[in-house]
A and B are shown apart, each in its own frame.
Chain A
């Protein structure tokens, strides 16, 4: 709070801390983020604008200047009329009204050169801001290959602002952007002086006519339609093949993350266990060794193993999104989504919820209708996020014997996993249906979605996504999960009995687990699972490290791998009940926090947490009951 006053003041002048800030502005699908990645590389960070839910991507530009040049990647907008939250944020930042964010010293306006006539309408409100602006005509390679032309010099003369024809994907012409950044940082400010009168901003048809005239005056020749986009759409939006491809894409994602990740995961697993063994040989046998080996290595290590799987999932979603397929998938999904009262735009957040509910809930911003948006937020945590994968993978590997079901294509393990994904999916859609026919009823909401042309995802874009994700995952493993692991190890070894650690059942954590045991016993869970459930309120995957530590600290199971220790300790009914419990329950503090922020209060997250917990308990109880009462038959079938 203390420096807020200063920020406001500085915002009017040179920007906070003498930095030179440059805003990236452009319509959705103009390649803004690709350019941002190219200009900043790894020197970027993601935060939230204060008070709103819009993500703020900032990064230092790789330029030689006396001052740091900080780039802000603003949300994609079609106009500067503050209609949606995204547009309001962009509007407020550009006019210097966003608290804590300095008014930018310069603007990079990124337009898609293959669709210049329409994108130029955004130049009207941006140029009237009187901030030094570089107009970037992106996708120059596409324009050329599809026989379009434009004269940047003629356009610059008409707009009174410099124009650069670039391709952010290939790097062509990006040097001009760097030169502009260096120039403005050195104080080379030239306000825009458009040669032709700007039209009234609010009048869309007038703006469009203006853009048309400017385009004609710049010898703009629109490119021929992308042949490849048409060809691919004739498959992906085909009445029959479209649905087949949709199914193939979804199945391929699941099969690859489950079986394709295995070799990588084995590699990580081996690295962790051999380093643990090596560490055990060099350390003296005391409590430090016990903490490191039984606590940290077994606990944190059991979570880090899943890094390859999670990265693979994010890689797939990144490819689907960057290539332009997700927009088509949303069109195909719209009909089914409508049946439960939602719309195609909810499909994109729900698909990314398979990776993580937090970015998914943030991406519901694109849904204009508030009730649709809340309904999507409410059901997103049911989608099987990557944090559930470690739990599922551990239990499936321990309790479901691997047998081929459909030849090589589908084994019992993958089928169980698919079943759990389906369970979450059905719970989500059932809930949506209930919500949209009661509390969140709304009449016909519009579905308007631009289909971007298909493009090759850039390696840099994908690599940055994975880098970000790995950083978040490892950061969590190194902080929260490490802390929980150490606390667990300590409470599992205290109170000391005659100077020696107690038997684990008599330790503090054992006492805690045994207190909750009666509540969870009907689900077939023992007290160790109970401790796991409590610790997994922080994040789902924590249960794996907790069980790793608990069984690692237990004299009876210390030398056995976690899988075998679980097999001895948990019935099949209890294991399946645990899987079902995790499919439904909302054990994730980050999700609860983000839902609270997005819905503006505790009402929705509290209702959501309770509802999902009750559903998880009932589901777990039913699974355990059915399996213990008809368990022999199921077991016989499995064997």
Chain B
């Protein structure tokens, strides 16, 4: 839990949540509980994979991401814990 408090202030534009519609990035690591991280990896959120931010629900949350040939919707708080390569 403390991690999330720290990472919020420490990190700048390298979080998945900071991508705007149409932006592209490369996944670096997932800072998430094991089960959720595993489920996301099975869905294609693997370090080294490219990822593009797509449409979102009104208000920008949740947002659909294009990764590894599929489109997956995530909430902002989850996307905040997925880090991208600089």
Residues of A within 8 A of B (CB): 78-79, 81, 83, 114-115, 117-118, 121, 204-205, 208, 222, 225, 229, 233-234, 237-240, 242-243, 327, 330-332, 334-335, 343-344, 368, 444, 446-451
Q: Which of A114, A222, A332, A449 has the most CB of B within 10 A?
A: A449
B51 at the interface (CB under 8 A from A): no
From B38, B43, B59, B77, A450 is in contact (CB under 8 Å) with B43
Tell me which residues across on chain B come within 8 A of A446, comparing CB atoms.
32, 36, 74-75, 78
A117 in contact with B77 (CB, 8 Å)? no
Tell me which residues across on chain B come within 8 A of A222, comparing CB atoms.
69
Beyond A79-B42, A242-B57, A448-B74, 9 additional contacts (C-beta under 8 Å) are A118-B69, A121-B42, A331-B56, A334-B73, A335-B57, A335-B58, A344-B62, A447-B73, A449-B72
**Smallest distance from the beta carbon of B51 to chain A beta carbons, Å?**
13
A233 in contact with B77 (CB, 8 Å)? no
**Smallest distance from the beta carbon of A26 to chain B beta carbons, Å?**
14
Q: Are A117 and B43 CB-contacts (below 8 A) given A233-B54, A332-B57, A444-B77?
A: no
B86 at the interface (CB under 8 A from A): no
A496 to B24, CA, bound (A): 83
Q: Are A335 and B72 CB-contacts (below 8 A) given A79-B42, A451-B64?
A: no
Q: Which of B40, B55, B72 has the most CB of A within 10 A?
A: B55
Tell me which residues across on chain B come within 8 A of A239, comparing CB atoms.
58-59
A118 in contact with B44 (CB, 8 Å)? yes
Which residues 1-56 of B sit at the A interface, judged by CB distance below 8 A? 32, 35-36, 38-44, 46-47, 54-56
B46 in contact with A234 (CB, 8 Å)? no
**Smallest distance from the beta carbon of B40 to chain A beta carbons, Å?**
7
- Determine the main DSSP class of B at the interface with A: mixed
**Smallest distance from the beta carbon of B82 to chain A beta carbons, Å?**
11
B75 in contact with A334 (CB, 8 Å)? yes
User: Which 8 interchain pairs have the tightest Cβ spacing?
Assistant: A237-B55, A451-B71, A204-B41, A78-B42, A115-B69, A239-B58, A449-B73, A447-B75
Tell me which residues across on chain B come within 8 A of A81, comparing CB atoms.
38
From B46, B64, B68, B77, A237 is in contact (CB under 8 Å) with B64
B59 in contact with A204 (CB, 8 Å)? no
Q: Are A117 and B68 CB-contacts (below 8 A) given A204-B41, A332-B57, A344-B62?
A: yes
A243 to B36, CA, bound (A): 29
From B35, B41, B58, B78, A205 is in contact (CB under 8 Å) with B41
B72 in contact with A451 (CB, 8 Å)? yes
**Smallest distance from the beta carbon of A189 to chain B beta carbons, Å?**
30
Tell me which residues across on chain B come within 8 A of A242, comparing CB atoms.
57-58
A448 in contact with B57 (CB, 8 Å)? no
Tell me which residues across on chain B come within 8 A of A78, comparing CB atoms.
39, 42-43
Of the A-B pairs whose beta carbons lie under 8 Å apart in the complex, a sample of 12, sorted by A's number, is A78-B42, A79-B42, A121-B42, A204-B38, A204-B46, A205-B46, A233-B55, A331-B64, A335-B57, A344-B73, A448-B36, A451-B64
A447 in contact with B54 (CB, 8 Å)? no
Tell me which residues across on chain B come within 8 A of A243, comparing CB atoms.
58
A334 in contact with B62 (CB, 8 Å)? yes
A121 to B39, CA, bound (A): 13
B57 in contact with A334 (CB, 8 Å)? yes
Tell me which residues across on chain B come within 8 A of A234, comparing CB atoms.
55
**Smallest distance from the beta carbon of A88 to chain B beta carbons, Å?**
14
Residue of A nearest to B75 (CB): A447
Residue of B nearest to A117 (CB): B69
A239 to B60, CA, bound (A): 9
